[in-house]
A and B are shown apart, each in its own frame.
Chain A
Amino acid sequence: SAVISQKPSRDICQRGTSLTIQCQVDSQVTMMFWYRQQPGQSLTLIATANQGSEATYESGFVIDKFPISRPNLTFSTLTVSNLSPEDSSIYLCSVRGTGLYEQYFGPGTRLTVT
């Protein structure tokens, strides 16, 4: 299994600012992902964080809005830029193990944009 921590757990930000979320995993993992969960909805994959190279973004998500860093196999950051109220969501870091490919999630970061 993998234990994932995220910082911050929640934040309230003003429109037009940015928030950077950190994700730390207790073991080295190849596959790391960032998800968004808007109120009352299921999960939407934002991007796959690739170690040492640019993230792979899903349709509808762009690097300028959601820059991602992944300097090593245990850490990643997601920045949500130029915030608007529509960005108010829970952002979740996730990893997938090898072998059984079981997926694990962090506790989430609840972002409210005012």
Chain B
Amino acid sequence: KQEVTQIPAALSVPEGENLVLNCSFTDSAIYNLQWFRQDPGKGLTSLLLIQSSQREQTSGRLNASLDKSSGRSTLYIAASQPGDSATYLCALYTNAGKSTFGDGTTLTVKP
């Protein structure tokens, strides 16, 4: 059974800092990995999708990496802004057609 862990559960940083969010998983038989952002009380917004054959994806100040051999993905946020404050979730879609979500990391960027 796929298990997804996100550490830390919460993170507070000053504005302008670069930061890394971590996602680890137990089953490397994945089809893709997706990073989402969720604002309080809202739905999930897709940030980046990395296919199983890819190592990283970039969108603006965000960069996501995937290392299947070690069961890890990271989301790098450059030059953080208060508007980046949200909960970030990673989700794995396996070859068996199942999705597993992490519990998320709640990020607070202080002005």
Contacts and interface: CB of A to CB of B under 8 A. Distances in A.
Name the interface size band of chain B: 20 to 34
A106 B43 contact: yes
Secondary structure class of chain A's binding surface, majority of residues: strand
Contacts of B89: 42-43
A92 B34 contact: no
B29 to A, nearest CB: 14
Contacts of A102: 32, 34, 46, 49
A42 B44 CA distance: 11
A103 B42 contact: no
B25 interface: no
Contacts of A4: 43
Interface residues of A, number: 20
Contacts of B32: 100-102
A45 B99 contact: yes
Interface string B73-92: 00000000000000001010
A107 B31 contact: no
Given A42-B103, A103-B34, A108 B41 contact: yes
Interface of A: 4, 6, 41-43, 45, 90, 92, 94, 96, 100-108, 110
